[in-house]
Structure 1
Amino acid sequence: MSNPLSTDAVRLTSLAHGGGCGCKIAPGVLSELLSSMPSMQGYTNLLVGTDTSDDAAVYQLNEQQALIATTDFFMPIVDDPYDFGRIAATNALSDVYAMGGTPIMALAIVGMPINTMSKTDIGLILKGGADVCQAAGIPVAGGHSIDSVEPIYGLAAMGLVHPKQVRKNASAQAGDVLILGKGLGVGVMSAAFKKNQLSDADYAVMIQSTTQLNKPGIALASLDGVHALTDVTGFGLLGHAWEIARGSELQLMIDFAQLPWLPNVPELAAQGFITGASGRNWQAYGEHIDLCASLTETQRGMLTDPQTSGGLLVSCRPDVADQVVALFHDQGFEYACVIGEAQRGAPGVHVR
């Protein structure tokens, strides 16, 4: 079973109480914490703020350019320090791609237990993040570091997009087709990994998925038929689908049989490898979800499974759906497929 260790004897995942996007504050608690935030009204150049829980803030600079700004960081989901850095950086840059933008620069966010971890391992985390940024064509131009109890790494990332090509999560239209860009099940696989029950082959797939940059977002934003974009991360497929439904005031219909799962995820879930974050997600938004009666509690846990560096969720016109799927496939996203559609009706998500 796969469990690649860092260069010192301590497993990175043992130094943190959670890992990856499963570390996120539960959506219900987060909503309560943000309820007293001041209104974004009055900032005329702010195209996207906190109102719709979108992936990043967007500020219009001029008629041709808008600045995308986001930050994302978390604790280790794997023990290999280089892989941890790569995953965290890929996840952070995804928010830029999910707005339809092109990254231009990143700043590193670093919190490390200096007396517990070796400088070699910390350096490998930073190198992993820098290598991903290099693959995205951008520099890590600075950052900030602290001595913390748990290892934390991520990026503040910036990008550019034409103001007319910004793709919000709240702009889906009735009749749209829903397309998912990556396979699901990273949270289940990470839970199995922590228990030394993830095979070498499945670990390799998890790393490949979580370090695959969501670059298709750039091209998707240029297609008129693509109405809404978001990425599926810590709140799971249902949570991010609910954000689209709520913001767009639509019903989203998801076909469980069409969902793409990473290898052996259903089997691992059936063995009990479901994260605590999955249950917290359901408690936060379950009242807005209508599940087919035939779905089991385990399958519900898979639907709310927190995805670290997950795929893009696209809402587009039916006539461009084949083009969108082909775009994903051409860029190496083999799991990309149609998973449902958007309909008129009271905001909610229905899984059949």
Structure 2
Amino acid sequence: MDIEGFVRRNIDHMDEESLRSILADRIREFKDIDTERSLRMADAVIYEVRNTLGTDGLDDGLREIISYPLAGVGMGEMGVGSRGEGDFFVHRKIADIVSSTETGAFINPEAQDDGGVVRTDTDKGEVYITTAVDGIHSRLSEYPFLGGFHVTRAALRDVCVMGSRPVALISDLHLADDGDVGKLFDFTAGVAAVSELVDVPVVAGSTLRVGGDMVLGDRLVSAVGAIGVSGTPPTARKRAEPGDVVLLTEGSGGGTITTAAIYHGLFDVVWETLDVNFIRASGAIMEAGLLEVIHAMTDVTNGGLRGDAHEISSTTGVGLEFDAEAVRSMVNPRVLEMLEDLEIDPLGVSIDSLMIIAPEDVSKDIIRAVEGAGVPIAEVGRVTDSGVPLLIGDGVMKELRPLFREAAYTQIKKMVGDETPQDFDEMKRKVEEAARRAIEKKDMVVKLIGK
């Protein structure tokens, strides 16, 4: 529970004694303390929040800095983090803010690629450094080992698909005030398991509480970052060309599939997700010297094939045609069985396959290298010049459109739904305005400090 947020929401329309009493009750739900101490804690929170509201005497510049541009649109409303249309839109606005700076990168967030890349010159030639960061699946807070395992795989995947060899991992771990310290260790053990399996060291990290003293409970929020290096340009999506073939490795899922399995009571499916096949497949491609002939690689994660195909087409201008049965064959059989039994669209969730886009004349060499690492792979489609992603099956051709949110894979997600809100265009306008104002604030501060 966010007790600071509770006070901020209620301080203006609730008398202070009622606010103090209710807040003390909420605190005692989490803390084994007496009434007097809980009231003193409530007083401290109210005191601090009230002080933050006394901004009348501030100059306009400082008032602007300590406030933020209200969009009037909530994260859940917009579908942020739900790997769909709303999420993609917000990420593009974040990329706009990054791109508004006078710094440069070989590949920055504007490309909406899996990782970012900077290029540097050394005595031995150009070196490309790839970085990526992923957050733990929000529903794996109670399963920290699995959360750590899968988020580490995710960060490494994002580095691998850019054609970089992973060389280091970093971990950022936040546990709420009442969380058992054992969660820290279990999460770290999950990270360390992947680190050991793929021989990439964890080199740095940070461990803090979620919201410090102001958030009660035991929610775990964390992220893992990966750093990779390469002597050749990255396999970015923008290099995909009409006539290329699309290859897909077998996907058994990560955090999303694990969450679906656990919260539907299908615990045996969790075993299917515990592998490092993606990284082995990427490593085999590198060892075979095939990176230079591959035009693009990505992982099938962001809203499933629907989301990734849409992002590739929208950022590169090429079209994609997928064979429905071939794609289906590249989903782990037990995972596919679960998804179909639960009526979850396999094309709308993250299955963690490696997608490779390459010229047809080298596809057999790629398949041979990946299968040599013990990872199933198959040709599932082609790149076209249509500009849209298409799925072909049973003689029918359909456009692969991302949903507003990824396919609902838990009961609560089914209740929330995946339909686009009627006022989505207005929501986008408000979000765009908030992003514009954030850029203006950044420019103002840079100008002031630069003087």
Same fold, judged at TM 0.5 (above): yes
Query: How far has the Cα of 1:321 moved from its partner?
Result: 1.0
Alignment correspondent of 2:89: 31
Output the CA distance in 2 between the equivalents of 1:185 and 1:140: 23
Report the CA distance shift for 1:30/1:351 in structure 2 as closer, same or farther (over 3 A): closer
Q: Which protein has the larger Cα radius of gyration, Structure 1 or Structure 2?
A: 2
Query: How far has the Cα of 1:217 moved from its partner?
Result: 2.8
The one of 260, 268, 282 aligned to 1:191: 260
Query: How far has the Cα of 1:219 moved from its partner?
Result: 5.1
Query: How far has the Cα of 1:226 moved from its partner?
Result: 0.9
The reply to whether residue 302 of structure 1 matches residue 346 of structure 2 is yes
The reply to whether residue 217 of structure 1 matches residue 282 of structure 2 is yes
Q: Name the amino acid aligned to 2:272.
A: V
The one of 367, 376, 384 aligned to 1:343: 384
Output the CA distance in 1 between the equivalents of 2:188 and 2:246: 36
Q: Contact 2:272/2:335 (CA < 8 Å) preserved in 1?
A: no
Q: In the TM superposition, what whole-angstrom CA distance separates every residue of 1:224-282 from its partner, at most 9, and x where no partner exists?
A: 431111111132112112222223321100011101122244443343353xxxxxxxx
The reply to whether residue 174 of structure 1 matches residue 174 of structure 2 is no
Query: How far has the Cα of 1:72 moved from its partner?
Result: 0.8
The reply to whether residue 320 of structure 1 matches residue 362 of structure 2 is yes
Alignment correspondent of 2:437: none
Output the CA distance in 1 between the equivalents of 2:336 and 2:169: 36
Q: Contact 1:73/1:109 (CA < 8 Å) preserved in 2?
A: no
Query: How far has the Cα of 1:30 moved from its partner?
Result: 4.0
Q: Where does structure 1 differ by over 6 angstroms across 4 or more consecutive aligned residues?
A: none
Query: How far has the Cα of 1:203 moved from its partner?
Result: 2.6
Q: In the TM superposition, what whole-angstrom CA distance separates every residue of 1:16-44 from its partner, at most 9, and x where no partner exists?
A: xx9xxx95564433423542425368655
Query: How far has the Cα of 1:315 moved from its partner?
Result: 0.3
Report the CA distance shift for 1:194/1:321 in structure 2 as closer, same or farther (over 3 A): same
1:68 match: secondary structure: strand
Alignment correspondent of 2:194: 132
Output the CA distance in 2 between the equivalents of 1:312 and 1:267: 20
Count of equivalent residues? 295
1:111 match: secondary structure: strand
Q: Name the amino acid aligned to 2:115.
A: A
Output the CA distance in 1 between the equivalents of 2:283 and 2:237: 15
Q: Contact 1:68/1:160 (CA < 8 Å) preserved in 2?
A: yes
The reply to whether residue 272 of structure 1 matches residue 348 of structure 2 is no
Output the CA distance in 2 between the equivalents of 1:220 and 1:159: 15
The reply to whether residue 86 of structure 1 matches residue 153 of structure 2 is no
Query: How far has the Cα of 1:157 moved from its partner?
Result: 1.5
Q: Contact 2:284/2:373 (CA < 8 Å) preserved in 1?
A: no
Q: Which moved more, 1:211-220 or 1:50-59?
A: 211-220
Output the CA distance in 2 between the equivalents of 1:330 and 1:40: 45
Report the CA distance shift for 1:264/1:132 in structure 2 as closer, same or farther (over 3 A): closer
The one of 173, 180, 189 aligned to 1:110: 173
Q: Name the amino acid aligned to 1:253.
A: E
Q: Contact 2:92/2:110 (CA < 8 Å) preserved in 1?
A: no
Output the CA distance in 2 between the equivalents of 1:230 and 1:152: 25
Query: How far has the Cα of 1:176 moved from its partner?
Result: 0.6
Q: In the TM superposition, what whole-angstrom CA distance separates every residue of 1:288-314 from its partner, at most 9, and x where no partner exists?
A: xxxxxxxxxxxxx2211133xx12211
1:85 match: secondary structure: helix
Output the CA distance in 2 between the equivalents of 1:226 and 1:338: 14
Alignment correspondent of 1:249: 317
Alignment correspondent of 1:294: none
The reply to whether residue 332 of structure 1 matches residue 374 of structure 2 is yes
Alignment correspondent of 1:284: none
2:184 match: secondary structure: helix
Pairing of 1:2-151 with structure 2 (within 5 A): 23-24=81-82, 26-32=84-90, 34-35=92-93, 36-39=96-99, 43=103, 46-62=105-121, 63-75=125-137, 80-116=143-179, 118-148=180-210, 150-151=219-220
Output the CA distance in 2 between the equivalents of 1:83 and 1:29: 24
Q: Name the amino acid aligned to 1:311.
A: S
Output the CA distance in 2 between the equivalents of 1:341 and 1:253: 5
Q: Which moved more, 1:72-81 or 1:144-153?
A: 72-81
Q: Contact 2:299/2:354 (CA < 8 Å) preserved in 1?
A: yes
Output the CA distance in 2 between the equivalents of 1:184 and 1:40: 38
Normalization by structure 1: what TM-score? 0.75
Report the CA distance shift for 1:219/1:206 in structure 2 as closer, same or farther (over 3 A): closer
If asked which structure has higher relative contact order (CA below 8 Å, sep 6+), I would say: 1
Output the CA distance in 2 between the equivalents of 1:59 and 1:185: 29
Alignment correspondent of 2:17: none
Q: 5+ unaligned residues in a row in structure 1: which ranges? A: 1-17, 275-300
Report the CA distance shift for 1:305/1:87 in structure 2 as closer, same or farther (over 3 A): same
1:61 match: secondary structure: strand
Q: Which moved more, 1:26-35 or 1:57-66?
A: 26-35
Output the CA distance in 1 between the equivalents of 2:343 and 2:257: 5
2:126 match: secondary structure: coil
Identity of aligned residues (%): 20
Q: Contact 2:84/2:307 (CA < 8 Å) preserved in 1?
A: no
Query: How far has the Cα of 1:188 moved from its partner?
Result: 5.3
Q: 5+ unaligned residues in a row in structure 2: which ranges? A: 1-75, 211-217, 393-451
Alignment correspondent of 2:47: none
Output the CA distance in 1 between the equivalents of 2:242 and 2:294: 13
Output the CA distance in 2 between the equivalents of 1:193 and 1:32: 29
